[in-house]
Structure 1
Amino acid sequence: MTLYKRRKKFSGFSASVGKAFGRFGSANAYTVLALLAAFIAAYFLLVQNFICAAVFFAAGAFLDAVDGAVARYRKSASARGAYFDTVSDRYMEGIIALVILLVPLPPFYLPSYFWAALYLFGSMTVTYVKAAAKEKLNREISGGLLERPERMIIVFIGILLAYFNAAYLTYVLVLLAVLANITALQRIRIAVKERL
């Protein structure tokens, strides 16, 4: 299900994007722009302007993909840049989830803020499990049911659907909350199994 396994299929497109955007700025500049777009999306979410929120969220997600393509095109990829990009990713996803916590959405068995918090917990745990495996077990792990690209696509769909009915965003949060935590458990299993 993960796009990670299909990343090679997008290599040609990524190279074209890197060439097109690499003329106008550095990879880090696009990372900053992606983060800025995410914060603007968060503002529009807070005021429940879901269309504008979806537009800026999509722009941020696209720019986040651009930075890596630009780094490869300009042959400027570095450990520092990768670190900055990773931290930026966490801020982008975190600020959106935190703002959704504050948006009054219809409940689904439990309050919407519970599902938003569970989604945030799951997404951060997915990332932490990977980092912990590398630091503590000296293992590189990836994969799982729902990685970040898939989460971003689903969040975008949820925000867009909220324009028609806010309850749709609650349903998307439930889906994200469940699948993100399942992914974290999958990665824990992978890390422990490989270690054994």
Structure 2
Amino acid sequence: MLKASFRDRTRGVDVRIGILFSKLRIPPNVWTVLSLAPALGGFMALYNGSLAWGLLLFFFSAFMDIIDGTVARVTDSVSNLGAFLDGVVDRYVEFTLYLGLYFYLRSTPEVLLSHHLLFLFLLFGALMPSFITAYADHRHVIADPEKLRNIGGLMERFERLGVIYAGMLFGLADPVYLTYAVILVAVLSHLTALQRIFYVIREG
């Protein structure tokens, strides 16, 4: 998974960020909730046709999402509740991003599918991988927590957002690049869901 590799390579930077922002004495869970504010601002920017401001504000939201985890680790306040809250807020931020992109792209030329169908395909694809993992755990199909952690896949949240942000960046030159990024994420998200289904069947 790219996220784990990225975290390993930036561990020293993570610690410095955590130490710096822990001095503000803001609890990690508060940082988590606060990351919704720039995401909502990013949605409004995209809704009003500003891709540059949308990208900047969603980047800021992503940075705040990094802060909560680093502060939690530095202050030894990592908790199951914090991980739960982080995951829930992450999904709201991601949905807000996709909804904003829908409004931004609906006035641009369609590629392969209508914008309505494309974003339904994207949302369902983004939802299914985490649902499959959670449902396999809920039904005790895979009892080994280590196997669940290693379920992986082509396009997890970290990769989805990376491709989307790259598409937004190139979309500043031509929105069609953003549309291509959305299509790529949608297709690979569904392939990731299939990967996880087969993994659960094999390991269950």
TM-score normalised to structure 1 length: 0.92
Report the residue type matching 2:157 in the other structure. R
In 2, the alpha carbon distance for the partners of 1:189 and 1:112 equals: 30
Q: CA deviation at 1:107?
A: 0.8
The correspondence for 2:180, drawn from 150, 153, 171, is: 171
In 2, the alpha carbon distance for the partners of 1:3 and 1:87 equals: 18
Output aligned runs, 1:47-196, within 5 Å: 47-103=48-104, 104=106, 105-136=108-139, 137=141, 138-139=143-144, 140-141=148-149, 142-195=151-204
In 2, the alpha carbon distance for the partners of 1:106 and 1:134 equals: 41
* Structure 2: gaps of 5 or more residues: none
Aligned residues of 1:21 and 1:70 also touching (Cα < 8 A): yes
SS at match of 1:130: helix
Q: Deviations over 1:141-190 (max 9, x none)?
A: 43111111111111112222222222121111110110111111111111
Match of 1:4 in 2: 4
In 2, the alpha carbon distance for the partners of 1:106 and 1:112 equals: 9
Report the residue type matching 1:100 in the other structure. L
Match of 1:45 in 2: 46
In 2, the alpha carbon distance for the partners of 1:7 and 1:37 equals: 23
In 2, the alpha carbon distance for the partners of 1:128 and 1:5 equals: 23
Question: Taking every aligned residue pair, what percent have the same amino acid on both sides?
Answer: 32
Report the residue type matching 2:175 in the other structure. A
SS at match of 2:35: helix
Q: How many aligned positions are there? A: 195
TM-score normalised to structure 2 length: 0.88
* Structure 1: gaps of 5 or more residues: none
Q: CA deviation at 1:33?
A: 2.1
In 1, the alpha carbon distance for the partners of 2:72 and 2:109 equals: 42
Q: CA deviation at 1:97?
A: 1.2
